[in-house]
Chain A
């Protein structure tokens, strides 16, 4: 396993367009997270899954954002009607959580979104 993979690495889109990002987590990990990071800030939580169930979604996340994790494997994050404020690095992470213990997140390299 080569770690967490994200695709694409970079995405430039026009305002108003829809974009979709993909994340392939480490196969043994049961949790998958999406974060967003802007320059000079720490990663901001968006949503997370345990297996295929989406357990939590940030209240800061507008209805334009949706995430799926069909069959508990890869995940997609879709942003509809993109706005310039959506420009950021979108990070995916996975982790193994067992018996209420988390063993640390493994992050992917991220997808850098630029909305023009």
Chain B
């Protein structure tokens, strides 16, 4: 199955600093989704990327899908304490058909006020 490596596993930032997490695959992905899980909560869907080189923004969050569709990143500008949580990338199925999402270990973000 499709496996992705997400780095870093943990990041501690001061409030106001930027944060980036990277998702890397050895195989070409048909699509990738990003989720956020607050401590004690459940994963919440953030976005889906499908096209090569795609960039999408949600307020302070910028999501990018690599040209080769083998990597993706999530960048948060000027972090806030509300950004605390674990961010997961999850590639979808094969060949354009999404069967199931496979989650990696995620990146845990801690924000110090």
Q: Which residues of A approach B to under 8 Å, CB–CB? A: 33, 35, 40-45, 48, 55-56, 91, 93, 97, 100-110
Contacts of B45 in A (CB 8 A): 104-106
Residues of B within 8 A of A42 (CB): 88, 90, 103-106
Alpha-carbon distance A109/B103, docked complex (angstroms):
17
Residues of B within 8 A of A (CB): 31, 33, 35, 41-45, 47-48, 88, 90, 92, 96-106
Q: List 22 A-B contacts (CB under 8 A).
A: A33-B100, A33-B101, A40-B105, A41-B105, A42-B104, A42-B105, A42-B106, A43-B88, A43-B103, A44-B103, A45-B103, A48-B100, A56-B99, A91-B42, A91-B43, A93-B43, A101-B98, A104-B45, A105-B43, A105-B101, A107-B44, A109-B42
What number of A-B contacts does a CB cutoff of 8 Å give? 55
CB distance from B61 to the nearest CB of A (A): 15
Query: Does B103 lie within 8 Å of A104, measured CB to CB?
Result: no
Which residue of A is nearest B86, CB measured? A42
Bound complex: CA of A55 vs CA of B99, how far in Å? 9
Q: Contact: B42 with A45, CB < 8 Å? A: no
Residue in B41, B42, B88, B92 whose beta carbon sits within 8 Å of that of A102 in the complex: B92
Q: Which residue of B31, B43, B102 is within 8 Å of A107 (Cβ)?
A: B43
Instruction: For the complex, give the distance between the alpha carbons of A35 and B101 in Å.
Output: 10
Are A43 and B98 within 8 A (Cβ)?
no
Chain B residues with CB under 8 A of A35: 103
Query: Does A100 contact B43, Cβ atoms closer than 8 Å?
Result: no
